[in-house]
Amino acid sequence: MKYTKYITSAAGLLGLGAILVACTPAPTMKTGYDYAIPETQAMQDDDFSNPAFVWVDIGEEQWSTVDGEAGKSCESCHGDASSMKGISTSYPKYSAEDGKMRTLQHQINYERTERMKAKAWKWEGDEMLGMASFIKNQSKGMPLNVSIEGEAAPFYEAGKAFYMQRRGGLDMSCKNCHMDYPGVKIRANVLTNGLPNGFPTYRLKWQKIGSLHRRFRGCNSNIRATPYKQGSDEYTNLELFLTHRANGVAVETPAVRN
């Protein structure tokens, strides 16, 4: 990944980008990292300067903390957190029990309420964001790989329809910005492909880490559209569409964005 990135950018400088890209394996889609300014990239590159690690550390601590009536922690069943390597790349995932898709955050709360008999965590709370970023961080660098086959297919279609639908007072769709104009400036921001691979993400504007669904709410409100609830079916299906679109792109969690 990194290696390919260096080669192509160096080649771009020499004006040979096109030739080299043709010889390297299919390039993956550019992420928010690729469009970020060097200072922001540097913050993400170094775990010690990345402010999101405050939450990753919360997650690590919770991993082995016993909670709930069953008297268990995540570690009691899953052992060392390295067992989570690669796991998050296939979420959202169809659950036969729920009859719909589960994001990783839904799965975390399922473990808590069903297996640990503990209280569910708030979607945007420090423990939840901490655990989600700790688990996803175990897969950092691995390609996203969700399935939209079989039972997942109709949920994918619903997510896609949401993405393409114009909405709000400005009557814009996600596609209008993130498929039609990646790399283009919209006032002070550079639009990107709007990928989910860095979430939970530390946003300088938020001064904290936040979930993908919080970002959806922001993008919806900006176009004067009614936001949906974090964890809602609408946003879960949208996450499935976005993640499938980003299949093959490496996990960056926890990313830093402006």
Partner 1 sequence: MTYRTILSTLVGIALFGTLAANANAAEYMIVDGTIPDSLTGKPGDAANGKKLAINRKKGNCLACHVMPIPEEQFHGEVGPDISDVGSHFTEAELRLRLVDPKVLNPDTIMPAFLKPGTHDVLKKFDGKTILGEQDIEDVIAYLMTLKGQYSQ
> Between the CA of residue 230 and those of 122, 183, 197, 212, what are the distances in Å?
10, 28, 17, 9
Catalytic choice (74, 77, 177, 219): 219
By CB under 8 A, tell whether 84 contacts partner 1: no
Name which of partner 1, ligand HEC, none residue 169 binds, using a CB cut-off of 5 to 8 Å depending on partner kind.
partner 1
Distance CA 150, CA 205 (A): 39
Q: Does the footprint of partner 1 cover residue 119 (CB under 8 A)? A: no
- Asked if 159 and 107 count as a contact pair (C-beta separation under 8 A), the reply is no
Q: Please, what is the minimum distance in Å from the beta carbon of residue 116 to ligand HEC?
A: 30
- Shortest Cβ 253–ligand HEC spacing (Å): 11
Name the nearest CA neighbour of 203 among 121, 124, 131.
Answer: 124
- In the complex, the smallest distance separating the C-beta of residue 223 from partner 1, rounded to whole angstroms, is 8
- The dihedral region occupied by 22, where left means phi > 0, alpha psi between -120 and 50, and beta the remainder, is alpha
- CA gap 67, 108 in Å, rounded: 13
- Specify whether 219 is catalytic: yes
Q: What are phi and psi of 100, to 5 degrees?
A: -155, -175
Helix (H, G, I), strand (E, B) or coil at 101: strand
Residue 136 Cβ, how far from ligand HEC at the closest point, in Å? Answer: 14
CB atoms inside a 10 Å sphere around CB 86: 13
For ligand HEC, the closer CB: 112 or 178: 178
- Per-residue x/- mask for partner 1, residues 219 to 238, rule CB under 8 A? -xx--xxx------------
Q: Is 205 in the site for partner 1 (CB under 8 A)?
A: no
**Considering beta carbons, is residue 110 or 228 the nearer one to ligand HEC?**
228
- Out of 147, 176, 232, 247, name the contact with partner 1 by CB under 8 A: 176
> Is the bond leading into 254 cis (omega within 30 degrees of zero)?
yes
Q: Is residue 83 near partner 1 by the rule CB under 8 A?
A: no
Residues that bind partner 1 (CB under 8 A): 165-172, 176-177, 180-181, 184-188, 191, 220-221, 224-226
Catalytic residue numbers read 219
